[in-house]
Amino acid sequence: MAELSSTSAAQSQDWRQLVRPYTEANAAIAVFQLVSTLLLYAGALALMGWSLQFSYGYTLLLAVPAGGLAVRLFVLFHDCCHLSFFSSTRANEIVGSVLGPLVFTSYHHWRLEHNHHHATSGNLDKRGVGDVPTVTRSEFESWGKLKQIGYRGLRNPFILFTVGAVITFVVLQRFWGPCATKREKVATVLTDVAIFGVYGAACWLFGWQNVLMVIGPTISIAATAGIWLFYMQHQFPETYWAKSDTWSYKDAALKGSSFYDLPPLFRYFSGNIGFHHIHHLSPKVPNYRLVECHRGVPEFQVKGMGFVASLRCLFVNLIDDQTLRVISFGDLARAPAPAPTTAGFSAQLIVSPTEPAAVRAEPVRAAPAA
């Protein structure tokens, strides 16, 4: 989707040189984004609480911008995980850890898994950590009926972007994954304690029913929007998949990450994360410089994917073993079955040797031996 359409960046000059001018953080912009978003979010929640005395319909209407601001907070949290929001590593870690409970996500644990996602995105042999679960056709057809039904349910948009999205943030993020070390486990527990402390105090002050009626729709909208964005960033018909021996970090970024061309208001709420081809090429470019980078580098000015065009991504379900293209469940009956693949889900963090220094510099540790 975001494949370079003109002279290839790799041919014109090293892509690292193209993005380097935009990787410098700006403390003033970062602080303004952080403070303004927190104030707007707090104000939106306060208005929702105030509206409860009139009509819950007003509260639900206010949940839409509140949910959008929660998504924006997550993007700021996400930048901290990449150590790109501030130039100071310590500042990123402090702010990210503080934002974690507000977005229902442990900073250190999510950072570990998300860095793995960046280092292995599009690698057929290293799926399963920090991504949307996606299996090959041969894997799917080797399963029993019950497991196939479960996977179909997981990929069903009416489940994935609703109940599945809420469960991801409210329930699954309360636990650490198989790759977590002691640091990530402790961070997850501390985040959970902070969440229960903050919302427990809110329930004591305002009543649990009022807190639920305010936070419930806000988090539901934010979770749905967040999972929708993450899905659209990589799960599109032309996306990139390759086996380890042919996988390329640059190709995974420019061919396997979309440019989700959203209107200005939605760019604000999503923190410009729609410029995902640039973000995956260099996660050190902070959200507030992605547009500048896109405009300043002609090689990155590719055709974007609008909202209507993104709807076809909902029919991306499986990876064809032979062509390495994504197919829908409907394609199973229209094409011959391929030879079985040796690829599968990885439960261990592996940093590719072709991973750029911008990602490699971030601490990514392998899981300890059993």
Predicted local confidence at residue 333, as pLDDT: 76
CA distances in angstroms from 318 to 142, 305, 321, 323, 361, listed in the order given: 13, 21, 9, 12, 33
Q: Identify the domain containing residue 188 by its residue range.
A: 25-360
Q: Which two tokens stand for residue 250?
A: 């640059």
User: Is position 366 within any domain?
Assistant: no
Spatial separation of the C-alpha atoms in residues 96 and 76, rounded to whole Å: 8
| Pairing mode, strands 135-136 and 318-319 | parallel
pLDDT tens-place string over residues 307-332: 999 999 999 999 999 999 999 999 88
Residue 292 domain-assigned (yes or no): yes
Rounded to whole angstroms, what are the CA distances from 232 to 46, 49, 155, 214, 358? 32, 33, 13, 28, 24
Rg for the chain, CA atoms, rounded: 21
Mean of pLDDT values over 333-341 = 62
The two structure tokens encoding residue 55: 């009509």
- Phi-psi bin for 128: left (phi > 0), alpha (psi -120 to 50), beta? left
Answer whether residue 304 shows pLDDT above 80: yes
Q: What is the pLDDT of residue 340?
A: 54
Specify the pLDDT at position 360: 40
For residue 362, what pLDDT is reported? 41
Mean pLDDT over the full length of the chain: 88
Q: Which residues of 266-281 are buried (b: 16+ CB within 10 A; e: fewer)?
A: bbebbbbbbbbbbbbb
Q: Which two tokens stand for residue 47?
A: 């208005």
Strand order in the sheet with 135-136: 135-136, 318-319, 326-327
Confidence of residue 168 (pLDDT cuts 50, 70, 90): very high
- Six-digit token pair at 222? 């934010």
How many distinct structural domains can be found in the chain?
1
Is 12 among the domain residues? no
User: How many residues are listed for the chain in this entry?
Assistant: 370
DSSP letter assigned to residue 87: S
pTM score over 0.85: yes
Task: Report the pLDDT value the prediction gives residue 10, as an integer from 0 to 100.
Answer: 41
Residue 185 maps to a domain = yes
pLDDT of 359 > 70? The answer is no
**Better pLDDT: 354 or 48:** 48
Measured distance CA(192)–CA(184) in Å, rounded: 12
For residues 34 and 96, give the distance between their C-alpha atoms in angstroms, rounded to a whole number. 11
Q: Is the pLDDT score of 28 beyond 60?
A: yes
Residues 6+ positions from 128 with CB-CB distance below 8 Å: 344, 345, 346, 347
Q: Half-sphere exposure (CA, 13 Å, Cβ side) for 245? A: 2
Find the mean pLDDT for residues 232-246. Answer: 94
pLDDT band at 18 (very low <50, low <70, confident <90, very high): confident
The C-alpha atoms of residue 292 and residue 312 are separated, in whole angstroms, by: 29
67 domain-assigned: yes
Quick check: 370 pLDDT over 50? no
pLDDT digits (tens, 9 = 90+) for 40-98: 999 999 999 999 999 999 999 999 999 999 999 999 999 999 999 999 999 999 999 99
Amino acid identity at 170: V
Query: What is the Cα–Cα distance from 224 to 63, expressed in whole angstroms?
Result: 13
Helix/strand/coil percentages in the chain, nearest 5? 60, 5, 35
Q: Is residue 14 assigned to a domain?
A: no
For residue 8, is it within any domain? no
- Rounded to 5°, the CA angle 88-300-223 comes to 60
Tell whether the model's pLDDT for residue 12 goes beyond 60.
no
- Domain membership of residue 365 (yes or no) is no
Q: Rounded to an integer, what distance in angstroms lies between the CA atom of residue 81 and that of residue 75?
A: 10
- What is the per-residue pLDDT across 173-229, written as a single tens digit (0 to 9) for each? 999 998 899 999 999 999 999 999 999 999 999 999 999 999 999 999 999 999 999
